[in-house]
Structure 1
Amino acid sequence: MERYSRQVLFSPIGEEGQVALASKHAVIAGAGALGTGSAEMLARAGVGKLTVIDRDYVEWSNLQRQQLYTELDARDRLPKAAAAEKRLREINSEIEVYGLIEDITALNAENLIGGADVLIDATDNFDTRFILNDVSQKLGIPWIYGGCVGSYGMSYSILPEKSPCLHCLLKQLPMEGYTCDTVGIISPAVGMTTAYQTAEALKILSGNTDQLRSKLVSFDLWHNQHTSINIDKLKDPACTSCGENRVYPYLNYENATKTAVLCGRDSVQIRPGSKRDIDFAKLAEAIAESGGEASANPYLLSVAIDGFRMVVFKDGRALIHGTKDVSAAKNLYYRYLG
């Protein structure tokens, strides 16, 4: 116990809680800013098994806030899951660490996440978050939502059968959303969000679920604001994800984002699971602030950015030209459309 002696001295965990941590499995969905922060804290805390899932690779812009990665990782464009696994094994050789280079979808989510004792959200889009939510409800796995952008962050812990689920809170996919690629982010906002998420994970994994925070917490570090909202009354008995007649709609292929490489063309089509109403003016402004160029007509917005050309239609469908790599196309789509 010498390695974890200071944690064991913390009476809510103690020796019994530390033994419990060593027997537990945490799955972290995403290995960006939130994922690397949570993974490192859980590895140092002695959680017995960590699985980190991510489809992306390390870029120079990640180094400002994604704490497991180095300049060498960015130069070599290492997959984030592989780089994270290597670094976490160096941090704690006593635990099991698995980095999975995967895109979480409605088709593979149950296999990737099944068997976990807690699921931590570190994703960058609500398509995936709603998949995580349905898997959590279907398999009975507690999960911890988190998000941050700019100087703002928020977190909420969801216990199947007890808490309102994410679908209860939002009902449908958000139509617009800021991203780190459009408005930026400061690393203290990341650190605060991961602190909230990881503290909740440690409570679950050490057997202290009675100490879980039942409220949705949000904050803005730059403007010195902090809010805690009781949302218990938002639990909906008719919710299709967690209600009395649940059907887990986001595990249904028809509600998933569809991608297709266009035959004979160096292009990928992305179609969201539900129709959106894209504000071309707002999106064009965000693209310009990120160094790209955009022009619109009443039907579509044409964007040139990051070496690609992206054509966005009003309903959210997009064509990404200049690649046949579905993962790269989805990364670009989520970066600028949230």
Structure 2
Amino acid sequence: MNERYSRQVLFPGIGKEGQDKISRKHVLMIGAGALGSGNAEVLTRAGIGRLTIVDRDYVEASNLQRQQLYTEEDVIEKLPKAAAAQKRLKAINSDVEVKAVIGDATPPMLEDLVKDVDVIIDATDNFETRMAINDVSQKYSIPWIYGACVGSYGMSFSIIPGKTPCLNCLLRTIPMQGLTCDTGGIISPAVQMVISHQSAEALKMLVEDWDAVRTSFVSFDLWRNQYTSLKMGKAKFAGCLSCGEERTYPYLDSENMTKTTVLCGRDTVQIRPSTQGELSLEKLAGQLSTLGYTVKGNPYLLSVEMGSERMVIFNDGRALIHGTKDLTHAKSIYQRILG
């Protein structure tokens, strides 16, 4: 047994057998922001076999207050979070196979990625993606761990297909927080608390100690010294379209996914083209430069500026329009630059 895991092996809940299981397991991390980077580091240090990280964004200065894998250099280089996380995680534990996926976690992508995944961890900032995760979890019988935080408040719930209610069931019972980090801010201790709940649940699942997995919905407010744990067994709904008797997995239908999204925490709109294709960033940079745009880039993206407008373009045609929450205005900028 590798000496680096000796203290973890001494823990009775894991032991040598559990560590062997952890080293063979594959975790899919959806999101590489505050929750994603923290969970990814915990599991990488724990010695998981494989980690796939999906994220659509890049590192900005406002991330550094709570997103623990990133540095000021990542901000300067505007590295995609998934790529920056992969680089840092490989430096932490070179035995772990880390795959970075730079893009939006759409239903087709999720269905492609989960084929050999053991656990999914939710580290997203929007319910549209969470509902798609929930449906793909139910369709392929893969457990996943919900987590969210804003301000000093956080929550987490472990979802095991066939045993616990799914997120779609929960929404009939529990009103979810309406605030975002844009409107309510966020403090790092709340992030760390959710990470602790999620990563602990992930380790239980990875060692296959299913009796230890928490089946209650946990929420807390660190500033107000509140902690709640709700039993959710009765929330399971037989008519649920995601996990019920006549399930249809409605959130895996791409037609139900919006093509424009206002990103959490910033005046930024993401625009995703209706058809996927690969852009030549080098060619595009040359074209935009001749039109008078200020263009900077790296192998993953282009940052395009003209006056007060700024757009970041990824090689799959996806773009982030900064400085606006107006979807119509954002689309007009996108169409003006990319056609």
Aligned position for 2:210? 209
Question: TM-score with structure 1 length normalisation?
Answer: 0.78
Q: What amino acid sits opposite 2:145 in the alignment? A: I
Aligned position for 1:238? 239
Aligned position for 1:310? 325
Q: Report the secondary structure of 1:320's partner residue.
A: helix
Aligned position for 1:45? 46
User: Could you tell me how far apart the structure 2 residues matched to 1:72 and 1:78 are?
Assistant: 9
User: Could you tell me how far apart the structure 2 residues matched to 1:106 and 1:307 are?
Assistant: 25
User: Could you tell me how far apart the structure 2 residues matched to 1:322 and 1:76 are?
Assistant: 27
Q: Report the secondary structure of 2:325's partner residue.
A: strand
Aligned position for 1:251? 252
Aligned position for 2:4? 3
Match status 1:78 vs 2:79: yes
User: Could you tell me how far apart the structure 1 residues matched to 2:248 and 2:202 are?
Assistant: 27
Q: What amino acid sits opposite 1:212 in the alignment? A: V
How is 1:20-99 mapped onto 2 (pairs within 5 angstroms)?
Answer: 20-99=21-100
What displacement does 1:113 show?
Answer: 2.6
Stretches of 4+ aligned residues off by more than 4 angstroms: 267-270
What displacement does 1:322 show?
Answer: 6.6
1:255-309, Cα deviation, whole Å (9 max, x unpaired): 221349xxxxxx9879xxxxxxxxxxxxxxxxxxxxxxxxxxxxxxxxxxx9534
Aligned position for 2:125? 124
Aligned position for 1:228? 229
Q: How many residues align?
A: 279
Q: What amino acid sits opposite 2:13 in the alignment? A: P
User: Could you tell me how far apart the structure 2 residues matched to 1:22 and 1:42 are?
Assistant: 10
What displacement does 1:254 show?
Answer: 2.8
Q: 1:268 to 1:226 in 2, by over 3 A?
A: closer
User: Could you tell me how far apart the structure 1 residues matched to 2:125 and 2:21 are?
Assistant: 30
Aligned position for 1:315? none
Q: What amino acid sits opposite 1:138 in the alignment? A: K
User: Could you tell me how far apart the structure 2 residues matched to 1:155 and 1:180 are?
Assistant: 17
Q: What amino acid sits opposite 1:195 in the alignment? A: S
User: Could you tell me how far apart the structure 1 residues matched to 2:79 and 2:270 are?
Assistant: 23
What displacement does 1:102 show?
Answer: 1.5
Aligned position for 2:136? 135
Report if the CA contact (8 A) 1:203-1:212 is conserved.
yes
Q: 1:310 to 1:191 in 2, by over 3 A?
A: closer
Q: Report the secondary structure of 1:107's partner residue.
A: helix
What displacement does 1:310 show?
Answer: 3.5
Q: Report the secondary structure of 1:144's partner residue.
A: strand
How is 1:259-278 mapped onto 2 (pairs within 5 angstroms)?
Answer: 259=260
User: Could you tell me how far apart the structure 2 residues matched to 1:10 and 1:268 are?
Assistant: 44
Q: Report the secondary structure of 1:324's partner residue.
A: helix
User: Could you tell me how far apart the structure 2 residues matched to 1:255 and 1:8 are?
Assistant: 45
User: Could you tell me how far apart the structure 2 residues matched to 1:222 and 1:159 are?
Assistant: 31
Q: Report the secondary structure of 2:29's partner residue.
A: strand
User: Could you tell me how far apart the structure 2 residues matched to 1:16 and 1:214 are?
Assistant: 24
Q: 1:307 to 1:244 in 2, by over 3 A?
A: closer
Q: What amino acid sits opposite 2:334 in the alignment? A: K
Question: TM-score with structure 2 length normalisation?
Answer: 0.78
Q: Report the secondary structure of 1:73's partner residue.
A: helix
Q: Report the secondary structure of 2:229's partner residue.
A: strand
What are structure 2's unaligned runs of at least 5 residues?
262-268, 273-320
Match status 1:18 vs 2:28: no
What are structure 1's unaligned runs of at least 5 residues?
261-266, 271-305, 313-317, 326-338
Report if the CA contact (8 A) 1:309-1:322 is conserved.
no
Match status 1:179 vs 2:174: no
Report if the CA contact (8 A) 1:28-1:35 is conserved.
yes
User: Could you tell me how far apart the structure 1 residues matched to 2:177 and 2:216 are?
Assistant: 24
Q: 1:205 to 1:175 in 2, by over 3 A?
A: closer
Q: What amino acid sits opposite 1:308 in the alignment? A: G
Aligned position for 2:192? 191
Report if the CA contact (8 A) 1:309-1:321 is conserved.
no
Q: What amino acid sits opposite 2:215 in the alignment? A: S
Aligned position for 2:275? none
> Which has the larger displacement, 11-20 or 103-112?
103-112
Q: Report the secondary structure of 2:116's partner residue.
A: coil
1:24-62, Cα deviation, whole Å (9 max, x unpaired): 000100000000000000000001101110010000000
1:215-265, Cα deviation, whole Å (9 max, x unpaired): 0000000000000001110100110000010000000123221349xxxxx
